[in-house]
Amino acid sequence: MAATPQMSAAVTTEETEIEFDGAVITPCVVAGRNSRIDVASGSADHTVRLWDADSGEQVALFDAHSGPVTTVAFSPDGETLASGSADHTVRLWNVDTGEQLAILEGSSATVSSVAFSPDGNTLISGYADNTARLWSVKSGRQLGLLPGHSGPVSSVAFSPDGTSVATASADNSIRLWDVKSGEQTGLLEGHSGSVSSVAFSPDGKTLASGAADQTIRLWDPRTGQQLATIESGGVPVYSVAFSSDGNTLISGSADNIVRVWDVRERGQPVRLQSNSDHAYSVAISPNSTTVAAGSEDQSIHLWNLASGQESAELRGHEQAILSVAFRPG
63 domain-assigned? yes
- Asked if pLDDT for residue 50 goes beyond 50, the answer is yes
Instruction: Find out whether 28 and 62 touch, Cβ atoms under 8 Å.
Output: yes
- pLDDT of res. 11: 26
Give yes or no for a contact between 60 and 52, defined as CB atoms under 8 angstroms apart.
no
Q: What are phi and psi of 59, to 5 degrees?
A: -90, -35
Mean pLDDT of the chain: 90
Is residue 11 situated within a structural domain?
no
Residues 199, 52: Cα–Cα separation, whole Å: 25
Q: Per-residue confidence at 2, pLDDT binned at 50, 70, 90? A: very low
pTM: 0.89
On the question of pLDDT at 9 being above 70, the answer is no
Q: Give the least confident one: 33-37, 65-69, 136-140, 233-237.
A: 33-37
pLDDT tens per residue across span 155-203: 999 999 999 999 999 999 999 999 999 999 999 999 999 999 999 999 9
CB contact at 8 A, 102 and 83:
no
Task: Indicate the DSSP class of residue 4.
Answer: P
Structure letter (DSSP) for residue 201? -
Q: What is the pLDDT of residue 35?
A: 55
Task: Please give the Cα distance from 315 to 297 (Å, whole number).
Answer: 9
* Predicted pLDDT at 275: 74
Instruction: Give the length of the chain.
Output: 329
Whether residue 197 lies inside any domain: the answer is yes
Q: Mean per-residue pLDDT for 226-233?
A: 95
pLDDT of residue 95: 97
Q: What is the DSSP string of 239-253?
A: EEEE-TTSSEEEEEE
Residue 157 sits in a domain of what CATH number? Answer: 2.130.10.10
- Residue 58 falls within a domain, yes or no? yes
What is the predicted pLDDT for the residue at 329? Answer: 82
CA-closest candidate to residue 131, choices 87, 83, 184, 82: 184
Give yes or no for residue 84 having a pLDDT over 60.
Answer: yes
* pLDDT (tens digit per residue) in 94-140: 999 999 999 999 999 999 999 999 999 999 999 999 999 999 999 99
Inside any domain, residue 82:
yes
- Domain extent at residue 239: 18-326
Question: Based on the structure, what is the number of domains in the chain?
Answer: 1
* In a domain? residue 110: yes
Tell me if 7 is assigned to some domain: no
Choice among 62-76, 79-93, 115-129, 258-272 with the minimum mean pLDDT:
258-272
CB 270 within 8 A of CB 263: no
The residue with greater pLDDT, 246 or 25, is 246
Looking at 6-67, list the stretches that DSSP marks H as alpha helix, in order from N- to C-terminal side: none
Distance CA 264, CA 3 (A): 49
Residue 107 lies in a domain: yes
